Chain A
Amino acid sequence: METRDANPAYVEEKLGREFYSHLRGGGRVAAFRRAAVVRAHALYDEAAEADAPESEISGLGLLVVQRTLLAVEDLGALLWAVADENRWRRFTSYRAEDLDGLYEELFRSVLDVRTLWAMPTDEAIAEEGGHSEPQRAAVKVLRELTAGELETKINFVASFWLSHRVGAKNLMHGFGVVTAPHLIDPPGGGILSKQVPLDRPRPFAASLVSTVSDERREVETTPHLVELTPEAVAMVRNTAETACDLIEQLVDAWVFAVSTQHLFVLRSDLLEQLPEAEQKAVADLFGDEDADAS
């Protein structure tokens, strides 16, 4: 495997050639995940409009959830990889619990989106030669604007992972999910019907997750409620779209940074949100590219 469009030694030092290769195709992966969720959402809407049986509608809602979880996991894997060294090892060896910790730290702002999205530190901005103080100040404002937008988006995605991961993974581990009609309609689901709050908007489903103690003496089955109303499913689809946006921004930033041998990247698409003075100050720093280097 050869690196032809960038300095091979620099690529190897910063990312490793395999991870760089994956990032170069990351936009296509995001598009693949996004399209799968959009199609599932369309199938859900079609079934709802056709007045399909409730269990089939909820099943299609769960398909939206399942495919969204995959997009959110893709994002988490990339973030887990760039959060530390040994990027390829981290990218291909993470556990679900690793991503739990990652998303928790992002949600609590323990992890800094500025670092993860390859944005310049204050020191890097200060050390970059050839720029005026107003330019440096404006770059910091742009960085904070970008970071704020990223934090809003990542919190949205992280909250989905943290609240749905266990129940949604179950869809890929045997689909042990009880649908509302079989919990509610006579004769009901026995103890399962008592564990789930049934008086709620439909469709919904209960994803069953059982834990067995080491000695097999204690078994506990916990139903994880999954709301599958049109509003809830649309929200899940939005989560997937946001995760895919973040993947695209992440891979664009890192590929640009490494292929051009710039240490840091700032996006130019938020320039218009800067105050006029800052816009003028940094206008010369950006060319025609979507992203440019600081």
Chain B
Amino acid sequence: MPDAETYLLPQRAYLLSYRDQALPVRRVALRDSRDHFDAVIDSVSRHEAQLGLLGLIGDAMQTLEDVGTMASAMMVGLAGLPFYVRATAYDPSDVNNFFAQIHKRDPDYFLRLCGFWFEGLSMHDFFELRPPLSVAERAAFDAAEEATAKLVAEHLGNLAREWERYRRFFHAYKHASLVANPDDVEILDEDGEPVEGIVIWARRRDEAAVGNHATMPLPDIAEHIESVGKLAIDMASHLVETRLGIFDIIDFKPDGAVETKPLRGTPWEFWMRREDVGSKNLELLAGRGVVLAEPTP
């Protein structure tokens, strides 16, 4: 068991704070930016509407940055230290690298990211359920773990695409509000007719250059990007909850001692499509007290 003072308690405080403080405020911020966008979409100033959209993109992409930072730290931590230390050592390449490589990852990667495997061992090797799992029950747990890892891989693949698509808008939001002023800049179609959209300036160029642009109607972009932000919040929530589950079986004594409590339920979270597990396995899991989260569409 790692040291309580330097490892377990700081890690626990970080995770609980993320659950109780960061996740609620990310949800509120996303909702607030969406409401603001809806309030300004019909403004006579296209600039005002585009800035409203940029704010929404900013709050949505912020949640993807959270996921990338946290997941990257979980997988590439610092030897002997809890993962929060790596998560709070900012390296701008971490998030880009995490999402850029996600499609290359094998299923084992996601089993480890979900907390089901650690250092080549299953969590079942660390924590024995009481009463012990039958062979069929163990197979059901294995199926649930694989189904969860599959869904997480799929969601992270989608988030990776959106990160690549919108991260420069996010940087434009964070660094000097680099939306091209639509009084002076407009997007033209092949016939030279203006089309609705948003343009940002490229950063770090010697000469001014147009950066990314999006040419969908702004409400469509808003609808899409808000759903992306919600998915990222769900992903962050899952990663945090599944690791917090471990602390349910750790008893911190007032004198600083640490004891492991008997494991009656399951300390980790499953987030999966039911058809990926099968009804028989679902029954077995339910019999062991597993409560399934609803999968994000």
> Which chain A residues have a beta carbon within 8 Å of chain B's beta carbons?
1-2, 16-19, 21-22, 24-25, 28-29, 31-33, 35-36, 39-40, 43, 53, 55-56, 58-60, 62-63, 70, 73-74, 77-78, 88-89, 91-94, 169-170, 172-179, 181-183, 186-193, 205, 208-212, 216, 219, 221
Contact = CB atoms under 8 A, between A and B. Distances in A.
A172 B63 CA distance: 9
A211 to B, nearest CB: 6
Contact of B13 (A2, A33, A182): A182
Interface string B234-255: 0000000000000000001010
B36 interface: yes
B133 interface: no
A219 B78 contact: yes
A173 B17 contact: no
Contact of B175 (A58, A73, A178, A208): A73
29 contacts: A16-B208, A17-B184, A17-B208, A21-B185, A22-B178, A22-B181, A29-B179, A32-B55, A33-B177, A53-B20, A62-B21, A74-B177, A78-B176, A88-B207, A89-B205, A92-B203, A93-B204, A94-B176, A174-B65, A174-B73, A182-B20, A189-B10, A189-B13, A190-B4, A190-B9, A209-B88, A210-B85, A212-B89, A221-B85
Contact of A170 (B24, B90, B175): B90
A93 B203 contact: yes
Interface string B151-182: 00000000000000000000001111111110
Contacts of B84: 176, 208
B87 A187 contact: no
Contact of B48 (A18, A28, A78): A28
Contacts, number: 193
Nearest to A216: B78
A188 B13 contact: yes
Contacts of A192: 9-10, 13
A22 B33 CA distance: 22
B221 interface: no
Nearest to B16: A182
Contacts of B181: 21-22, 24-25
A211 B177 contact: no
B290 interface: no
B85 A219 contact: yes
Contact of B184 (A21, A93, A183, A216): A21
B272 to A, nearest CB: 26
Contacts of B70: 174
A285 B8 CA distance: 70
Interface in B17-40: 17-18, 20-22, 24-26, 28-29, 32-33, 36
A55 B90 CA distance: 23
Contacts of A28: 45, 47-48, 51
Interface in B44-90: 45, 47-48, 51-52, 55, 62, 65-66, 69-70, 73, 78, 81, 84-90
B275 interface: no
Nearest to A18: B208
A190 B13 contact: yes
Contacts of A55: 17, 20-21, 24
B117 interface: no
B208 A88 contact: yes
Contacts of B174: 70, 73, 172
Most buried by A among B6, B66, B69, B89: B89
